[in-house]
A and B are shown apart, each in its own frame.
Chain A
Amino acid sequence: MRKYIINSIFLCSIVAIIVSCQNQETIDLQNYMSNGKDIYIAKCQNCHGLNGEGLGQLAPPLTDSVFLKANKNRLACIIKNGANESLIIHGKEYKEKMPAFPELTDIDVAQVMVYATNSFGNNQGFVPYKKVSLQLQNCK
C-alpha cells in the first residue's frame, strides 16, 4: 500500500513538472512584451497614445489588425526608418511623416514590434529577433 502511494506521488509530480514547463517561445514572447512595452512608452506613446489610439489625423492608431497583418514584413522597417508615404488605416488616409528612430537596435525593434502587434486588441504572435534583423537588412 505504502509503495503504491509513493509511486503515485512520484508520477503526479512528473506530470506537474511537464505541465508547468513553458516552451521557449512563450518565454521569449513574454520577455519581448515586457521590454517592448518600455520602448513603446519611451519612443511611440507620445504620438500613438497609451492604448494605441493615435492622435487625430496626425498619428494613426495601431489598432488596425488588417493593416498590421498585410504589412507585417514592412513593420520593422517603418519602426526604424519612419514613413514618408500616405498610409490607409481603418479606411482613413494618414499623410504625416513618421520620424525615424535610428537609435533603436534590431532587438529593440523586434521587441517593440512584438509588443505593438500583440497589444491594443492585436494578436499576431511572436516574431523572433533573427527574422526582424533580416527584414531590417532588406529595407527599401
Chain B
Amino acid sequence: MNKIISSIAICLLFITILSSCQQDKKLPFYGERHAETVKDANGAEKIDTIYQTIPNWSFLNQDSVVTTNKATDGKVYIADFFFTSCTTICPTMHRNLITVYNEFKTNPNVMFVSHTIDFKYDRPYVLKKYAQKLGVDGPKWQFLYGSKDSVYTLAEKNYLVAVGEDSTAKDGYIHQGYLVLIDKDRRIRGAYDGTKEDQVEQLKKDIPVLLAEYKK
C-alpha cells in the first residue's frame, strides 16, 4: 500500500516539475542572419546573432506628407503590399486587416503600413480616397506611395514579399498577400496570409506576444 502511495506521489512531483518548466513564448526571426563579435558594456567580447532588418525608407503617405521609417520608431507594425484597383486578393486582405486594426486601435505601440505597388495610378490622393472609403483614415494606418524601384526592392529584398507587374494578370499586377509583422528593432517576426482568416487570427494572438517581449 505504501509503495502505491509513494509512486503516485513521485508521478505527481514529476508532472508539477514538467508543467512549471514552460518558457515564455517568443516569436521566430525571419530572413538572413549572421554571427558577429560584439563587445558588451564591460568590454568583454562575445558572439551575437545579427538578424535581417528593414532598412531606412521614405515615401509619401495618403496626406502627401513625406513619411519615413521614423514613423514606426518604438512600435511594432504590420506591413503589406496592395493596390487600390485590385479586385482579387486585396479586398479580402484589407477586410481581414481591418479586424486587426480595430482590435489594436487604442494600442499606441501598434501601427499599420500599406505600400501600393501601382506606381502609375495610386498617387497619394487616390490612396487618401481609398483609406477614407475603407473607413480607416488616420496616422495609425499609413498608405504609402513610392517609385517602382524603391517599393519593389523593399518588398522583395527586405519584407520577403513577391510583387511584380504582369500584363497577363486581370488587374495588371501580381503580388503575395502576406501581412508581415515587424518588431521594434525592425526585424521580421511573422508573415501571415492576409486572405486566410485563421492566419489573421494567429496574427492577432502574436502581436501581444511580441509586445510582451519588450516589457521586461
A: residues with CB less than 8 A from B are 45-47, 49, 55-59, 96, 99
B132 at the interface (CB under 8 A from A): yes
Q: Which chain B residues numbered 151 to 178 have a C-beta less than 8 Å away from chain A?
A: 170
B6 at the interface (CB under 8 A from A): no
- Inter-subunit contact A46/B132 (CB<8 Å): no
The one of A46, A57, A96 that contacts B89, using a Cβ cutoff of 8 Å: A46
**Sampled A-B contacts (15; CB under 8 Å):** A45-B92, A46-B87, A46-B89, A46-B90, A47-B87, A49-B95, A55-B94, A55-B134, A56-B135, A57-B132, A57-B133, A58-B130, A59-B91, A99-B87, A99-B170
**Chain B: how many interface residues by the 8 Å CB criterion?**
14
- Inter-subunit contact A57/B92 (CB<8 Å): no
- Inter-subunit contact B91/A57 (CB<8 Å): no
- Inter-subunit contact A96/B91 (CB<8 Å): no
A67 to chain B, nearest CB (A): 19
Q: Contacts of B94 on A, CB cut-off 8 Å?
A: 55
- Inter-subunit contact A55/B95 (CB<8 Å): yes
Among B95, B130, B170, chain A packs the most CB atoms within 10 A around the CB of B95
B106 at the interface (CB under 8 A from A): no
- Inter-subunit contact A46/B91 (CB<8 Å): yes
B193 to chain A, nearest CB (A): 14
B88 at the interface (CB under 8 A from A): yes
Residue in B closest to A95 when the chains form the complex, CB atoms: B133
How many angstroms between the C-alpha atoms of A45 and B92 in the bound complex? 8
Please provide the 7 A-B residue pairs with the shortest distance between their CB atoms, ordered closest to farther: A57-B133, A56-B135, A56-B134, A47-B91, A46-B91, A58-B133, A99-B87
In the complex, per-residue mask of B39-81: 1 if CB is within 8 Å of any chain A CB, else 0? 0000000000000000000000000000000000000000000
The DSSP consensus for interface residues of chain B is: helix
Q: Contacts of A57 on B, CB cut-off 8 Å?
A: 132-135
* Inter-chain pairs besides A46-B91, A47-B87, 16 sampled, C-beta below 8 Å: A46-B87, A46-B88, A46-B89, A46-B92, A47-B91, A49-B95, A55-B94, A55-B95, A57-B132, A57-B134, A57-B135, A58-B91, A58-B130, A58-B133, A96-B133, A99-B170
Q: Contacts of A46 on B, CB cut-off 8 Å?
A: 87-92
How many angstroms between the C-alpha atoms of A45 and B88 in the bound complex? 9
Q: Contacts of A47 on B, CB cut-off 8 Å?
A: 87, 91
How many angstroms between the C-alpha atoms of A90 and B95 in the bound complex? 20
Q: Contacts of A59 on B, CB cut-off 8 Å?
A: 91
- Inter-subunit contact B134/A58 (CB<8 Å): yes
Q: Which chain B residues numbered 129 to 154 have a C-beta less than 8 Å away from chain A?
A: 130, 132-135
Q: Contacts of B130 on A, CB cut-off 8 Å?
A: 58
Residue in B closest to A45 when the chains form the complex, CB atoms: B92
